[in-house]
Amino acid sequence: MFRKQFQKGSPKIFDQLESNVPYPKGGRVELARGSKSPAWQRKEGKSASGGLNRKGIASYRAANPGSKLSMAVTTKPSKLKKGSKAANRRKSFCARMKGMKKRLTSAKTARDPDSRINKSLRKWNC
């Protein structure tokens, strides 16, 4: 068992870890030699104009079963029907990403037109 209930006189969590669980040095899990990370984490799964391409989306879905990740809404906002599913997805994405750009990126990244976040905001017409 990985966890033990907290009772009077009982050891704390993780005291009874299985002895055969490997813990790599430095706390990182290394990939087996010759294996690659999923395409959505590599350049070949990313679109040059921002976001993921079809291969990246397919590899993300394979790595995360049950995922509903879909392609970007690249239609101009003026062409979208107000309140449609695509318009709402775009509006939600733009609001979420603008908040990330504002709070979670450095000033240098926020100003850089070639940063991944700025490319994706442009692609989604935010």
* Residue at token pair 């299985």: 18
∠48-53-59 over CA atoms, to 5°?
Answer: 130
pLDDT digits 0-9 by tens, 1-18: 444 454 555 444 444 444
The domain limits of the chain are: 37-71, 83-126
95 pLDDT tier (thresholds 50, 70, 90): very high
pLDDT digits 0-9 by tens, 24-71: 444 444 555 667 888 888 999 998 988 889 999 999 999 999 989 989
With H, G, I as helix, E, B as strand and everything else as coil, classify residue 95.
helix
